Amino acid sequence: MNQARGFLKEFRAFAVRGNVVDLAIGVIVGTAFSKIVDSLVKDIFMPLVNFLVGGAMDFSNKFFVLSRPANYAGPETYADLTKAGATVFAWGNFVTIVINFILLAFVIFWMVKAINTARNKMELEAEKVTPPVPEDVLLLREIRDALKNK
């Protein structure tokens, strides 16, 4: 019984420790933020990129069939072939995922850069607003400096 109380006390101390709570908040905010960034890439940047390159950059249906099931006469799509048991080298899906990753990394880079710029501006403004040093502190510094020189 005493051992169980000790364990529960230790677990409670661990669970409410700042790092665990911070981690939980980070995961929750990160999940919400990932949806925003995902939408930004999918709904804003990808249509612009597709417009600029003159068509859809969706390579997910590009593949090579390495082996087909015997007597297969179904549609020649990736989903149908894999469902039928064909061995498919799906290079297009990989290329699409790599392109999405690069765009996602690019968007996150610029968002972090903007946040850091805003943070630096706020820190500079905070430094400008620092109150003047009181006169007694200045006097003590002068006395200290005068004693150092002797």
The pTM assigned to this predicted structure is 0.52
The tokens describing 93, both together, are 């899906």
Beta bridge partners of 89: 64
Interval 22-62: pLDDT, tens: 788 888 888 888 888 788 877 887 788 778 777 766 677 78
Q: What is the token pair recorded at 27?
A: 């995961």
Q: How far apart are the first and last CA of the chain?
A: 69
Name the residue ranges covered by the structural domains of the chain: 1-40, 58-149
Q: Which two tokens stand for residue 116?
A: 């850091």
- What pLDDT sits at residue 138? 87
3-state SS, residue 48 = helix
Upper half-sphere CA count for residue 20 (Cβ side, 13 Å): 7
Please write the tens of the pLDDT for every residue from 69-106: 888 888 888 888 888 988 989 888 888 788 878 887 88
